[in-house]
Amino acid sequence: MGSESVKVVVRCRPLNDREKALSCKMVLSMDLQRCQCFIEKPGAVDEPPKQFTFDGTYYIDQPLNRCIL
């Protein structure tokens, strides 16, 4: 095997119309500089958010051609 590697990039999309109609809440936040995302469990105020690190991130208001890698 060679020295191949895979880069993993995550994209956070805005809530769609159905999710808005159901009064869904955004449970994901991102640190774009560190390429990390944090997922909060709804209703679990005592639990810290789950943390994930990626090679790159896109956030809701970030143009797709401006990915941070």
pLDDT tens string 13-59: 889 999 999 999 889 989 988 999 999 998 888 999 999 999 998 88
pLDDT tens string 18-31: 999 999 988 998 99
Whose CA is closest to 13, among 59, 52, 49, 54?
59
The DSSP letter of residue 35 is T
Examine the pLDDT at 68 and tell me if it is beyond 60.
no
Residue type, 24: C
pLDDT tens string 2-11: 678 899 999 8
Q: What confidence score (pLDDT) does residue 64 get?
A: 54
